[in-house]
């Protein structure tokens, strides 16, 4: 049981290049999330997927796209990387809240450290 | 909107010292409250949680009590170890927020031997 896995662990891009960050979970969770972590700002939600086939914007979606490929996998794409996207990116998953409910616990991957020059 | 405020770090303590990391929140509903911990080079992992007023979450010697009257969820440990050095995040999840968890900025803890 690997939990949440992310690839790559580290990536350097030049401004304008594109890349896709991969995330997979083996806990049969319905909900998946992408966050970015910047110094002094905690975690900010980029996009989330409440269930297979659905995606929604979070707090900071500009410059990113996502794909919920199947129940296990949720990818994050940078179409044209900018230095402002230098950050550490975390994928997470959770059980879906019951109708009208709230998330109880999220499970995080180890992160992808991205540097955009 | 919902928010979480936690004390700024870094916090530096000697081994066996008492730890308190303050956390207060604002929420429109009745949230669940969490402490997550991030060890160097790793992702966040749940440390403890509480889902209703006066609940006490505890794990690995850490404790936090859900105080609705003061909208607080302070993290405490009686005797810290070097291995507790990490970044600690307070967070909330609210029914009104749906699928969103709100995280504080994080507090870095250094424990010296």
Scanning the structure block, which residue is given the tokens 């409440």?
A50
Which residue blocks in B18-71 are alpha helix, DSSP H? Answer: none
Report whether B97 contacts A48 (CB < 8 A). Answer: no
Q: Tell me the residues of B at the A interface, defined by beta carbons under 8 Å apart.
A: 4, 31-32, 34, 36, 41-46, 49, 51, 89, 93-95, 97-101, 103-106
> How many angstroms separate the Cα of B20 from the Cα of each of B11, B14, B43, B77?
10, 13, 22, 7
pLDDT digits over A73-109, tens only? Answer: 999 999 999 999 999 999 999 987 766 666 778 999 9
Could B49 and A105 be called an inter-chain contact, meaning their C-beta atoms sit closer than 8 Å? yes
Distance from CA of A97 to the nearest CA of B (A): 7
* Spatial separation of the C-alpha atoms in residues B45 and A42, rounded to whole Å: 14
Pairing verdict, β A19-25 and A74-78: antiparallel
Phi-psi region of B4 (alpha: psi -120 to 50; beta: other; left: phi over 0): beta
* Spatial separation of the C-alpha atoms in residues A61 and A115, rounded to whole Å: 18
> What end-to-end distance do the CA atoms of chain A give, in Å?
36
Residue pLDDT tens, chain B, 113 long: 889 999 888 999 999 999 999 999 999 878 899 999 999 888 999 999 998 899 999 999 999 999 999 999 999 999 999 999 999 999 998 876 666 889 999 999 999 99
């Amino acid at each position: 049981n690997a939990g949440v896995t992310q690839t790559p662990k580290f990536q350097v891009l030049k401004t304008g290049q594109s890349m896709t960050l991969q995330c997979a979970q083996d806990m049969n969770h319905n909900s998946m999330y992408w966050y970015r972590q910047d110094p002094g700002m905690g975690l900010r939600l980029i996009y989330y997927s409440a269930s297979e086939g659905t995606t929604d914007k979070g707090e900071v979606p500009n410059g990113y796209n996502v794909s919920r490929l199947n129940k296990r996998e949720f990818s994050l794409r940078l179409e044209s990387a900018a230095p402002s996207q230098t950050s550490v990116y975390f994928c997470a998953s959770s059980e879906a809240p019951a109708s009208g409910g709230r998330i109880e616990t999220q499970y995080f991957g180890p992160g992808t450290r991205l540097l955009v020059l | 909107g919902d928010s979480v405020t936690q004390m700024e770090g870094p916090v530096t303590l000697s081994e066996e010292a008492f730890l308190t990391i303050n956390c207060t929140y604002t929420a429109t509903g009745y949230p669940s409250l969490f402490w997550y911990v991030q060890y160097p080079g790793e992702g966040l992992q749940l440390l403890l949680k509480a889902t209703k007023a006066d609940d006490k979450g505890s794990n690995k010697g850490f404790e936090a009590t859900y105080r609705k009257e003061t909208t607080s969820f302070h993290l405490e440990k009686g005797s810290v170890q070097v291995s507790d050095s990490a970044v600690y995040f307070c967070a909330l999840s609210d029914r009104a927020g749906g699928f969103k968890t709100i995280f504080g900025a994080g507090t870095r803890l250094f424990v010296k031997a």
